[in-house]
Amino acid sequence: MGLNIISRRHFLGRTAGLAAGTFAGPNLLLKGQNAAGKKLRLAVIGANGKGQSDTQGVTLDHTIVALVDVDKKRLDEAAKKREKHHLDSGKEAPNAPKLYQDFRKMFDEMANEIDGVIVSTPDHTHYVAAMHAIKHGKHVCVQKPLCNYIAEVRDLHRAAKEAKLTTQMGNQGRTMEGQRLAKEWIEQGAIGTLKEIRLWTNRPIWPQGPLVKKAAECPAELDWDLWLSSEASEPYFEFEIPAGVNGKRGNSVHPFNWRGWWQFGSGALGDMGCHIMDATFSILGQIIPEKIDATSSPISDTCAPVWSDLVYHMPAGKHGALKVSWNDGSKDGKPNKPEISPHMTSELAKKAFEKASSGMMFIGTEGTVFEGEAYCGSPVIYNEERYTQVRIDTKAGKIKKTETRSVMPNNPQGEWAHHVVNGGLPSSNFDYSCPLTEFVLLGNLAVRAQQSVQWDKQGMKVSNAEAPNKYVSRPAYREGWKP
């Protein structure tokens, strides 16, 4: 397929259809309808990259009826990889899905043949793709962060709720056992009183910092105009990588390197925050900060910084008022990490901290819950004697399992599909993951504003300054793209 220039008439035709409510997707009522063994008909938008492993999460139990990718070569490759996954799993080759470069064309042609949609595109397309799916009455599973603007997150939440759809964000940590254990330990006094939380990541591992666009030839297999989707049309570009910026992944935004551009991604915080801040958000009772302080390396209007340091001021809730700090990137060639917890004094603890390129420390009066990965999949407690006691108490039933367990740990796509069929709520359904994404994106608001921001949650606006409010909503949508 060549470059797809979509006409204004085409846009208006679609938009008029949306407004008139003419989307005729099946309004699934699977719950109770002989749900056992029910196979969903699923479409994946953004079929390669993360979309490929997201497809693997559901393809053996359900039917993939369509794969969509704006890059023809990557689309064909995604279809082949899916087939290989079936064969490698000892299954027969699966049905051949319909292949599209434009998800709107897919909805036009086969909306009636789709029950649910997985969205695994770059961040800037999550909102438009998921909203198209929702308006067609499709259940949705959307990669993290749900959107890269807070106003879009709220809009998506409202629309999915009104349509009574089963929703999920792809933050796999939320489905894991470890995150539940950490919450139960802390709530049941394993580390005394929770006083402070320190979070960090070595990201960005892609170019981020003051990048400058330069004209380049678009690869023949890529439909650049569709890749831009709701963003204003502009010629394909690559960028210069200045000294001090990690350039290992090359200098084009597609694939993967869109992350550092505010237009398309959400920087290191947006990329990793929905993982690393997830356990914090859950443990603190899903509350939103009152104020966020930010300092960072120089930013431009277009790109996120090489490093940033944030402090989230959390009001009292399940725990007393406390600070959550976030450090990302590297400073002077060294990982930008917080200070180690005072409970982590043993050699073992120091080594674990040193090794952790991303992680979290929940620091209490009597001990620290430490996780040296992004997902909080296998937390431990320092010091070691306290951890031994916690394990004894857990075995003896003194520390109880109070959190609901996932039916499919580490497979948010499979878990979502299970709940579409059987009812019940996926671990990271939008009632949870929309506020979590807002929590994460508030840090970006402070970074972009280069100042402390106070957040008026009711009013969805920064209350101590006017200028940062321009970062709450996407500045503009190309005509015809906003459903």
Stretch that binds ligand NAD, among 248-256, 327-335, 341-349, 463-471 (CB under 6 A): 248-256
Stretch that binds ligand NAD, among 121-129, 184-192, 388-396, 423-431 (CB under 6 A): 121-129
Cα–Cα distance between 454 and 456 in angstroms, integer?
Answer: 7
Of the two residues 144 and 418, which places its CB atom closer to ligand NAD in the complex? 144
Q: Does 296 bind ligand NAD (CB under 6 A)?
A: no
Query: Minimum Å distance from CB 333 to ligand NAD?
Result: 26
Stretch that binds ligand NAD, among 65-73, 152-160, 196-204, 342-350 (CB under 6 A): 65-73
- Among residues 55, 56, 59, 125, which is the contact residue for ligand NAD, using CB under 6 A? 125
Query: Minimum Å distance from CB 161 to ligand NAD?
Result: 22
Stretch that binds ligand NAD, among 253-261, 340-348, 392-400, 431-439 (CB under 6 A): 253-261
Q: Does 144 bind ligand NAD (CB under 6 A)?
A: yes
| Count of residues interacting with ligand NAD (CB under 6 A) | 29
- Among residues 55, 56, 143, 167, which is the contact residue for ligand NAD, using CB under 6 A? 143
Q: Decide: 406 and 176 in contact? Cβ < 8 Å.
A: yes
Site string for ligand NAD, 257-276 (x = CB under 6 A): --------------x-----
Q: Does 437 bind ligand NAD (CB under 6 A)?
A: no
Cα–Cα distance between 52 and 137 in angstroms, integer?
Answer: 24
Q: Does 123 bind ligand NAD (CB under 6 A)?
A: yes
Q: Does 55 bind ligand NAD (CB under 6 A)?
A: no
Q: Decide: 326 and 275 in contact? Cβ < 8 Å.
A: no
Of the two residues 205 and 287, which places its CB atom closer to ligand NAD in the complex? 205
Q: Does 120 bind ligand NAD (CB under 6 A)?
A: yes
Q: Does 172 bind ligand NAD (CB under 6 A)?
A: yes
- Among residues 25, 97, 137, 170, which is the contact residue for ligand NAD, using CB under 6 A? 170
Of the two residues 155 and 231, which places its CB atom closer to ligand NAD in the complex? 231
Of the two residues 48 and 444, which places its CB atom closer to ligand NAD in the complex? 48
Of the two residues 50 and 457, which places its CB atom closer to ligand NAD in the complex? 50
Cα–Cα distance between 259 and 249 in angstroms, integer?
Answer: 12
Q: Does 477 bind ligand NAD (CB under 6 A)?
A: no
Q: Does 175 bind ligand NAD (CB under 6 A)?
A: no
Of the two residues 261 and 387, which places its CB atom closer to ligand NAD in the complex? 261
Q: Does 71 bind ligand NAD (CB under 6 A)?
A: yes
**Phi, psi (degrees; rounded to nearest 5) at 206:** -130, 165
* Binders in 338-397 for ligand NAD, by CB under 6 A: none
Q: Does 45 bind ligand NAD (CB under 6 A)?
A: yes
Query: Minimum Å distance from CB 170 to ligand NAD?
Result: 5
- Among residues 41, 56, 69, 296, which is the contact residue for ligand NAD, using CB under 6 A? 69
Cα–Cα distance between 55 and 43 in angstroms, integer?
Answer: 9
β-pairing, 358-364 with 194-201? antiparallel
Q: Does 428 bind ligand NAD (CB under 6 A)?
A: no
* Residue labelled with tokens 């674990």: 352
Query: Minimum Å distance from CB 72 to ligand NAD?
Result: 9
Cα–Cα distance between 151 and 67 in angstroms, integer?
Answer: 28
β-pairing, 194-201 with 334-335? unpaired
Query: Minimum Å distance from CB 423 to ligand NAD?
Result: 25
Of the two residues 105 and 457, which places its CB atom closer to ligand NAD in the complex? 105
Q: Does 56 bind ligand NAD (CB under 6 A)?
A: no
Q: Does 444 bind ligand NAD (CB under 6 A)?
A: no
- Which residues contact ligand NAD by CB under 6 A? 45-46, 48-51, 68-71, 74, 103, 120-123, 125, 143-144, 170-172, 226-227, 229, 254-256, 271
